[in-house]
Structure formats: C-alpha cells, structure tokens
Amino acid sequence: MKVSTKGRYALRMLYDLAVHQEDGYISLKDIADRQNISKKYLEQIVPLLNRSGILKTNRGNRGGYMLAQKPENYSVGDILRATEGSIAPVSCLEFEPNECPRAGECATLFIWEGMYKVVSDYLDSITLQDIIDRSSSAGSDYCI
C-alpha cells in the first residue's frame, strides 16, 4: 500500500487542526501556511473529510474548519480510509465479503489478508492525539 499525497496532507491538516483546536475555527490559509501545503490542494481534501464527518465547517468572517470530535477519536486508519478510499493491499479485499471468484482457491489470499490485518490494526491504533503527544515529547514538529 502506498499512501498518496492526499492522504499525507489530510493527516497534516487534521494534525494542525488538533494542535490548534483551542483557537476555534481555523482558515485553510492558516493551515496551508503552517504546513507548507497549497491551499488549493487542501480545498480538494476538505470535501472528503466533510463527507466522513471528521470536520466541522463555519462560513463567514470567522469561518474555517475544526475537528468535529476530540483528537483521540480519530485514528490514522480512519483518516486514510476517508481520503484514500481503501487501505487494502489488493483489490479483492476492498469489500466484505470477498467476492473474488478465485477466493476459495487462491493460494496467496492468506498473505494479503494477513498484511491487511496488520496494516489496519497498526493504523487504527494511532490517533491524532498520539501524534500530538509524540510531537510534544520530541520537542519539535512532527513530520508526516
């Protein structure tokens, strides 16, 4: 599995919102400036995060974005699924149940299922709060 720029930038955007959650709604311009990401690129990511219920949006003069829930409620797995679609290593594992006509006779299916479980479990075990905590203890910016 290769995480796209969209997934990495979404994680950086949400990390930024989590770090600045006390500031209320944050503009995309502020996030873009702090994270050194194109505002236009962030505008493409926002609808994916809105659709997933991860963001709260406020329009107007004091408008911007904030997390809909606390940082500890969002796993890296949730964020990547919202932006990447699936994190399955092979297409036959993208849907439950596996509808591949070869699933019953596939000699390598156990490999992909095992890989999928390990990656999913790992990504689901790390929250935005974990990233903040690790970044704070390291004493520097966290690189995603």
| Domains of the chain and any CATH numbers | 5-85+127-138 (1.10.10.10)
Q: How far apart are CA 38 and CA 114, in angstroms?
A: 37
Segment (H or E) for 49: helix 39-51
Helix orientation angle between 5-19 and 128-138, rounded to the nearest 10 degrees = 70
Q: How many CB atoms lie within 10 A of CB 86?
A: 14
Q: Which residues lie closer than 8 Å to 126 by C-beta, 6 or more apart?
A: 75, 76, 77
Q: How far apart are CA 96 and CA 98, in angstroms?
A: 5
Q: Which two tokens stand for residue 103?
A: 């699933």
pLDDT of residue 98: 87
Phi/psi-derived region of residue 108, left when phi > 0, alpha when psi is between -120 and 50, beta in every other case? alpha
Give tens-digit pLDDT for 72-105: 999 999 999 999 999 999 989 988 888 888 888 9
**Model pTM?**
0.88
pLDDT of residue 141: 52
Q: How far apart are CA 52 and CA 65, in angstroms?
A: 14
